[in-house]
Chain A
Amino acid sequence: MLFEVYKNFSPRLRVFYLIFALLFTALSVGLFYRQVILWPTYLEQEKKQNHRRILVPGPRGNIYDRKGRLLVGNRPRFSAVIYLSELRPEFRRKYIEVVRSARSTNRKINRNELQIEARSAVVQNYLNRINRILNRNDQVDRKEVERHFRQNLLLPKPLIKDLKLSEFALLTEQLPVNFPVQIHTESARYYPSGSRAAHTLGFVGSTFEVPEEGVPGNDLTTVTYKGKTGRSGLERQFDEHLQGTSGGEIWVVDPSGFQYELASQKLPVKGNDLSITIDIDLQQAAEEALGDNKGALVALEVKTGEVLVLASKPDFDLNNLSPYIPNEVYRSINERGAWLNRAIAGLYPPGSSFKVITATAGLQSGAIDLETIFECQGFLQVGNRHFPCNNHRDRGEISFSRSIMKSCNIYFQNAGLRTGVTQISRTARQFGLDQPTGIELPNETHRMIIPDPEYKAARQHGPWTAGDTANLSIGQGYLLVTPLQMAAFTASFARRETRTHPTLLHDPAADPRRIDHGGEKLNLPEELYNGIVEGMEMAVSGRDRGLLVGSGRMAHVPGIRIAGKTGTAQTQVKGEKLTMAWFICFAPIEDPKIAIATVVESTDPDYLYGGGSHAAPVAKKVLQAYFQNKNPSGNNLATR
């Protein structure tokens, strides 16, 4: 009998063992690879999927004036907000209720529409509670609720913005601590001085581009509270310096995007403060003196170039531009032409205030000296051009110092013709009048003009004529400068240097002797320099039979030696005749401390309109305020 013998082990099984072993190994390796090697990657993916980041911009730094008074700060802006993510159970309940109601009334059921309806109803319910407390009657905007729900679920939805302090107090006391409606605080820019130095300080606008440095979770889906960015003035120039450091929150969210756990949080930090050179008292004095006129005034500290005043009129209340610019405010500012910072971007012919440069050029070149005399008969015929001189009534010979005192056009046109356009233009350029001053402000114009024959030829205005030189000599014609440039020139002239670098950054520790303004010593012998200054002093304080008779007499401040020069210039802007009244000055002559340039525009001037009558009194107010501050007892001002 043949028995079949079965072996426990067959060599053929080895193949299956091998295959099994290989497959098991592959599975084990795969498992190891996924569980151990790829673990960080999966963790990262999981984190990205269920973590969301909220960026909270830090408040901006404050801006202070040279005496530490607050010019720009932050004020809290309270809003009643609702956290939609906390209302999910209520949304569901309301949705079921709405669907039942729709069914019972045989309404067509559009689930999406009903969800929107349910969510709006729940939010309205909470708003009604606030309405009862605040005695208001606000209604929710369905579209806004839905948009917020879809796009910004992580952020609280504002129900009532910009709460008054009384409303804030009512809600604080009457809303429960753990309630979906809470009071949210954000910062808005606050300007204690209102419209003072509005153009210099500038304003901010909203932005979603919030700095992310230092906030973890760069790779996470991020939602951002609106931040602020500088749009003009110092706010724009020093945006990075003033910008706060952002904070952030990282939330764990469920698949529907509802947040349920705060994973980490970093608090926002306020930006750096800025101390500027403006003296808000002087600024106020200047702006009040300018009144409702269009114009500008710049006052510089002579030795340091620090800007004490940078006023431009018309202006606007910065508080009306924060936290946003309403349309009607924008339109009003636009119509008044108030956006323009006339101090740094207003281009004007300097008129007779330019005669100081003509005099310097003439004396430097030797074309004239302090003894030079010209005859003024009230007009000058140069080629086919007729130039009148209405600045003084006495006719006949006129000396150098008296010509400055009386601002005689004929004297300076003759002097200019003798000196020549090249020398006058060179001197003006030497003082930097052909280029921006480099002040730390955006939008300083680059379009200033110091004309010469090349300039005229390049613009195909024909050949340069003697009439052009005569016109340039009295600061008219193609010549265009800004008030800031004229103030910088005045400060340079007061220091007997050629350049002044005006600055808005206040450094009380700076040694004025070490400040390099980038120019050189004025190449003018002391005697000649003093001759010009003497003429300028006579323009302000010159007397005849005890009466002040200089063209700038309305800037006279008893007890202070002031060197000043008036100017009146005419131009056309968009077909409209514009007359500019100028006044430049520095004081005190023995140790110059302050230099001022001011211009006041008029479209409808009377025959007396000019620098002496309309610009000099403005400068006087600032001089009085400056010296009153320096000497609060006022003894000096009263006795001399």
Chain B
Amino acid sequence: MVRKIPHATKPIVLLLGLLLTWLLLPAVFKSYSRAGFFEFQAPLWVTAAEFKNLGDSWALRAHSKKELYETGRDLARLNSAYELKLQEIDALRDELSRLERILVLPSLPRFQYRIARVVRRDQSSWWQQLVIQKGKLHGIPVGAAVVYSGGVVGRIREVHAYTSVVELATSPGFRMAAHFDNDERPVTYQGAVNLPFSSPRGKVMNVPPDVVVTASVPRRLTSSRLGGVFPDGLTIGWVNRLTTSPDGLFQSGQPYLDKNLLSLKEVAVLIPLGTGGTP
């Protein structure tokens, strides 16, 4: 006679059974399920983000006409300034191309910018990531650089149909080549464990021993073109202290990153021209 499983133990047995089944499932199925789950979640995140945007938009509508006029005026000025900058950039780009032709230099890597809204932020001590509202269908490739007006944001880690996951520069799994202002020698920047509500920080390593940094004169750490992913000169953070390793070969320090990094609403994905991003 088959003994009945007592009522109290039924949930545990069911759980164990499910776990066992999951473990025994083929890897392809698991991977498909995970991707499917993500795609299922994505519209929810996007909808939530849209609601938030709607809320923000309604909040903005509460502003008086006078405030709107002033903001409009400021915006117009900003636009004019940007127009001017764009013309300068075009002129510089032409000059660069001319010099490259004369000196027979290989062209600098060029990028196409894809602006994407942030729909979700996932910030634990061990990883920090953003989900942005652009994915495979918008030509976003894995590994692409993500930037904002303040500098480096991170790198695309996963790409789904309509969304992508960005590993933030503060995440311990993020590493890139960097250099200090006015010093072309590459150093290593890596994210670090960032406690909740603390200022975002990372680690800078392999700094040559002759680089001098003081609290009164902090130095800007910028991206290096030598790494092949980021263009040169984007701000990563500021370093105000370096410690020499016991073997004297290198120094290391903790750059302070922009606080806005953790509350970004919009970022730009740099898609190298000639790859999947070619329009």
Which A positions have Cβ atoms within 8 angstroms of B?
Answer: 58-59, 74, 76, 133, 165-166, 168-170, 172-178, 185, 187, 244, 247, 267-270
Contact = CB atoms under 8 A, between A and B. Distances in A.
Given A172-B186, A173-B176, A269 B226 contact: no
Interface residues of B, number: 24
Nearest to B227: A173
A59 B248 contact: yes
Contact of B248 (A169, A174, A177, A270): A270
B226 A169 contact: yes
Contacts of B226: 165-166, 169-170
B67 interface: no
Interface string B221-249: 00010111110000000000000011111
Contacts of B172: 177
Contacts of A175: 175
A267 B247 contact: yes
B247 A58 contact: yes
A246 B76 CA distance: 64
Contacts of B227: 169-170, 172-174
Interface string B243-275: 001111110000000000000000000000000
A172 B173 contact: no
A175 B188 CA distance: 12
A268 B246 CA distance: 7
A244 B206 CA distance: 19
A516 B227 CA distance: 59
A170 B248 contact: no
B130 interface: no
B206 to A, nearest CB: 7
Nearest to A166: B226
A76 B206 contact: yes
Contact of A172 (B185, B188, B246, B248): B188
B172 to A, nearest CB: 7
A165 B229 CA distance: 16
Contact of A168 (B176, B186, B250): B186
B190 interface: yes
Interface of B: 143, 172-177, 185-186, 188, 190, 206, 224, 226-230, 245-250
A76 B177 contact: no
A193 B46 CA distance: 62
17 contacts: A59-B248, A59-B249, A74-B248, A165-B186, A168-B177, A168-B186, A172-B188, A173-B175, A173-B227, A174-B228, A177-B172, A177-B174, A177-B175, A177-B190, A178-B173, A185-B249, A270-B249
Contacts of A172: 175-177, 186, 188, 227
Contacts of B206: 76, 185
Nearest to A174: B228
A182 B229 CA distance: 18
A408 to B, nearest CB: 57
A18 to B, nearest CB: 51
B226 to A, nearest CB: 3
A168 B224 CA distance: 12
Contacts of A174: 143, 227-229
A169 B247 contact: no
Top-4 shortest CB links A-B: A173-B227, A169-B226, A169-B177, A270-B248
B26 to A, nearest CB: 16
A247 B228 CA distance: 34
B246 A177 contact: no
Contact of B173 (A166, A168, A173, A177): A177
Nearest to A164: B226
B177 A269 contact: no
A268 B247 contact: yes
A174 B230 CA distance: 11
Contacts of B246: 58, 247, 267-270
Contacts of A185: 206, 249-250
A272 to B, nearest CB: 11
A172 B185 CA distance: 13
A176 B173 contact: yes
B247 A59 contact: yes
Contacts of A170: 177, 226-228
Nearest to B250: A76
Contacts of A270: 246-249
Given A170-B227, A247-B246, 10 more contacts: A58-B246, A58-B247, A169-B186, A169-B226, A172-B186, A173-B229, A177-B173, A177-B190, A187-B247, A247-B247
